[in-house]
Amino acid sequence: MQIVRSHVLICGGTGCTSSNSPKVIEEFKVQLNLNKIQDEVKIVQTGCHGLCAEGPIVVIYPEGSMYTMVKVEDVKEIVDEHLIKGRIVKRLLAGDKDVQDFTKSLDNVEFFKKQHRIALRNCGVINPENIDEYIAYDGYKALGTVLTTMKPHDVIDTLKISGLRGRGGGGFPTGLKWEFAAKQKANQKYVCCNADEGDPGAFMDRSVLEGDPHSVIEAMAIAGYAIGSNQGFIYVRAEYPIAVKRLNIAIKQAEEYGMLGKNIFGTDFDFNLEIRLGAGAFVCGEETALMTSIEGFRGEPRPRPPFPAVKGLWQKPTILNNVETYANIPVIFLKGADWFAGIGTEKSKGTKVFAVGGKINNTGLVEVPMGTTLREIVYDIGGGIPGGKKFKAAQTGGPSGGCIPVSELDIPIDYDNLIKIGSMMGSGGLIVMDEDNCMVDIAKFFLEFTVDESCGKCPPCRIGTKRMLEILERITGGKGEESDIEKLELLAKNIKAAALCGLGQTAPNPVLSTLKYFRDEYDAHVKDKRCPAGVCKSMMHFIISAERCKTCGICAKNCPVDCIAGEKGVPYVIDQEKCIKCGVCMEKCPFKAIFKNA
Amino acid sequence: MKSLDELEKIRNKTLDNMSLRSKDKTMRIIVGMATCGIAAGAKPVMNSLLEELRRRNITNVSVTMTGCIGVCRLEPIVEVIDPSGLKVTYVKMTAEKAARVVAEHIVNGRICLDLTIGEAEKE
């Protein structure tokens, strides 16, 4: 008996016949004969499938693929692709046309449409614990090309042309940094990676290390070649156990493959990489403190100059770049400096990863070209603000950055524009705030963080930020005086001018930027003893509307401190002295009779 | 590693494996296993997938992990890629949902539409 491997069912019903199915059948016969598979594939003319509007209909078994609106020209493709190669011709499938608006895969989700993934290109795509998959996505090709075809100064020139700037916050041109270190004459130089991501809310470095550790390793080896170093250190915080584990695996695999070690790609270039674990101090993300910590001392910054490119780790010339900066580098060498320089704005090239959080629907990691507006990030990619609330501000740059108000929503985001409006890029945390956030409270939150994390080496930061926090606590506690705002401004100015390291110098930014754009909120707290957003507890009281109260007593039953009194027929009243402002009564009231009077 | 040619060989070999041009694998399952995924419960999901495949004696499906794709709020995320390259993204997975995906999608070829990212985004 003849064995047939496939059946092609072609509808010969009236509907399909009138939309040309006989010609399609003829063409199938021609194509099958042409490919000499007429004995393996059987053509069956069937009756009506009931989907006449989509005819002619062709169904192929054993797969059961249903192709609709098949034209004579499509037949060759179906025979070549499906019957010979076994690949279903997706564009002709019934389902794909029918449920076009149905999003099955994340590739077609709105969230990704405006994104441009360079640093995150492999995150969520490859298996980070498998070097082969990295290589499959062009991994280590940049290193191989650099080592075998380029001189160190060509590498630096390429980076300079690309316009890449440091993604850790400051935005210093990476090519220049490398050039300074390359020019130093020394018997030993070092390449360091800053993976001590400390900004509250930022986690792009962790994601890169967890999702694509080899891209950082490859870029660090390129850096070593460019500046003449054979030793690298990755400084990563111990709170990132998965990142550390995957980095270790990646380094081991790279060593086995000869991407690290001696005579890489058959050249005389050697490069070794070690991991140093940080204990999670925020200050260790500052470059000089980080290097002091790698050396085994307490992580404290030191004055610059000398800059690390001259005297860094163990007094030797050292470059330090951030994880995201490194993740961009292999792509620059694969696709060319001009390609990279073609993305972004005039002075900020490429893309930036933001960790978007706070009052926004789509929290997560986004990578957008420089120059994308905040509005696009918040509304198009971020999906807007939950509950239809109004956008109030976005905080970028963490404790070193500031708040961007609604009036600046349309400013193209790049390094220089952010500084112009009193914030900074920082490592890329982006916290969205709505009308329910109190800006004074936000400033206080970041000051609390800096006070906690101040290393204590220099007085402006150690004492100055503490004094600022005390004033903010006074203001939010309802005891602010009119002179307090001036005092805040004066302290901020002096700390900025006098602190030893970048962290101290930028610590007043959250206060300064909220003062700049939300002065009225400070005034309301100080003069009217009122918190417009209803956040600061000291100025908040809950009131039961006597008119609306149906005297059900549910609020009194739920009050944890029994401060609500009343009885059936008599409206309930809150004892303001005893009230702890937990808000449970307001939440539980079935008649919405309780109001937060800020 | 001695040369770019050597690198290219590894690249092509792995690409072949990943795109399932080899005959023995029919589908690929990828589980997001970065901090966000694991915190959301990717480990039980992964275990459930492996257990369900083992119970059904399915050996021609590869299960691997990957990093953070950026939509952390929808983790744990599981992607199923069929031989034609068609990718289906399942979100907010649990061990039970993972077992269902194996039974319906992997074994019977029916996509669990209600678990896909498109459905989750409609809410």
Tokens linked to B55: 């119970």
* pLDDT over 50 at A235, yes or no: yes
The contacts of residue A238 (CB under 8 Å, 6+ apart) are A244, A277, A278, A279, A280
- Give me the residue label for tokens 């030893």: A500
Per-residue pLDDT tens digits for A293-322: 999 999 999 998 999 999 999 999 999 999
Per DSSP, chain A holds a count of helices (H) and strands (E) of 26, 17
* pLDDT over 70 at B20, yes or no: no
Q: Is A288 exposed, middle or buried (0-12, 13-18, 19+ CB in 10 A)?
A: buried
Do the Cβ atoms of A103 and B65 come within 8 Å? no
Distance from CA of A313 to the nearest CA of B (A): 30
Residues 191 to 250 of A: which have CB under 8 A from any B CB?
A: 203, 206-208, 210-212, 240, 242-243
Tell me the CA distances in angstroms from A452 to A208, A426, A445, one per residue in order: 28, 19, 11
- pLDDT given at position A50: 55
Whole-angstrom Cα distance, residue A34 to residue A14? 29
Tell me the CA distances in angstroms from A65 to A3, A114, A214, one per residue in order: 20, 33, 40
Query: What are the beta bridge partners of residue B62?
Result: B28
Neighbours of A553 (CB within 10 A): 14
Tell me the CA distances in angstroms from A395 to A385, A428, A442, A466, one per residue in order: 15, 10, 9, 22
Q: Please name the residue of chain A whose CA is at the shortest distance from the CA of residue B19.
A: A136
CB A593 within 8 A of CB A585: no
Per-residue pLDDT tens digits for B88-103: 999 999 999 999 999 8
- Hey, is A221 helix, strand or coil? helix
- pLDDT given at position A180: 96
Q: Please state the length of chain A.
A: 598
- pLDDT given at position A102: 44
Tokens linked to A305: 């100059």
> A406, A451, A409, A446: which is closest to A426 by C-alpha?
A446
Distance from CA of A83 to the nearest CA of B (A): 13
Per-residue pLDDT tens digits for A329-374: 999 999 999 999 999 999 999 999 999 999 998 888 899 999 999 9
- pLDDT given at position A224: 97
- pLDDT given at position A8: 83
Count chain A–chain B contacts defined by CB atoms under 8 A.
149
- pLDDT given at position A14: 65
* pLDDT over 60 at A188, yes or no: yes
**From A126, A135, A362, residue closest to B7, measured CB to CB:** A135
- pLDDT given at position A218: 97
- Hey, is A107 helix, strand or coil? helix
Q: Which of A20-29, A43-52, A82-91, A183-192 has the highest mean pLDDT?
A: A183-192
Mean pLDDT for the stretch of residues B3-26: 75
Angle formed by the axes of helices A141-149 and A213-227, nearest 10°: 10
Strand duo A65-67 + A190-195: pairing: unpaired
Do the Cβ atoms of A211 and B87 come within 8 Å? no
Do the Cβ atoms of B1 and A109 come within 8 Å? no
Mean pLDDT for the stretch of residues A95-112: 57
Do the Cβ atoms of A240 and B79 come within 8 Å? no
* pLDDT over 80 at A33, yes or no: yes
Q: In one letter, which amino acid is A7?
A: H
Provide the pLDDT confidence category of residue B19 given band limits of 50, 70 and 90. Answer: low
Whole-angstrom Cα distance, residue A176 to residue A156? 8
CB A555 within 8 A of CB A562: no
Mean pLDDT for the stretch of residues A475-497: 94
Provide the pLDDT confidence category of residue A108 given band limits of 50, 70 and 90. Answer: low
- pLDDT given at position B86: 82
Provide the pLDDT confidence category of residue A393 given band limits of 50, 70 and 90. Answer: very high
Per-residue pLDDT tens digits for A138-159: 999 999 999 999 999 999 999 9
Whole-angstrom Cα distance, residue A228 to residue A485? 51
Do the Cβ atoms of B116 and A103 come within 8 Å? yes
pTM of the model: 0.79
The contacts of residue A425 (CB under 8 Å, 6+ apart) are A167, A169, A171, A352, A396, A397, A401, A413, A414, A415, A418
More confident residue, A4 or A155: A155
Q: What is the mean pLDDT of chain A?
A: 90
- pLDDT given at position B74: 92
Q: In this predicted structure, which of A479-483, A505-509, B58-62, B117-121 has the lowest mean pLDDT?
A: B117-121
Q: In this predicted structure, which of A88-92, A543-547, B16-20 has the lowest mean pLDDT?
A: B16-20
Mean pLDDT for the stretch of residues A408-429: 90
- pLDDT above 90 covers what percent of chain A? 67
Residues 30 to 69 of B: which have CB under 8 A from any A CB?
A: 30, 32-36, 38, 64-69
CB B69 within 8 A of CB A106: yes
- pLDDT given at position B21: 44
> A549, A578, A550, A548: which is closest to A563 by C-alpha?
A578
Q: What is the 3-state secondary structure (H, E, C) of A475-514?
A: HHCCCCCHHHHHHHHHHHHHHHHHCCCHHHHHCCHHHHHH
Q: In this predicted structure, which of A52-66, A488-502, A575-589 has the lowest mean pLDDT?
A: A52-66
- Judging contacts by C-beta atoms under 8 Å, the chain A residues touching residue B2 are 258, 265-266
Provide the pLDDT confidence category of residue A287 given band limits of 50, 70 and 90. Answer: very high
A280 Rama sector, left if φ>0, alpha if ψ -120 to 50, beta otherwise? left
Q: Is the dihedral of CA A362, A365, A370, A374 positive or negative?
A: positive
- Judging contacts by C-beta atoms under 8 Å, the chain B residues touching residue A365 are 68, 70, 72
Q: Please name the residue of chain A whose CA is at the shortest distance from the CA of residue B11.
A: A136
The DSSP H or E segment spanning A45 is strand A41-46
CB A264 within 8 A of CB A258: yes
- ipTM score assigned to the predicted complex: 0.77
Do the Cβ atoms of A207 and B113 come within 8 Å? no
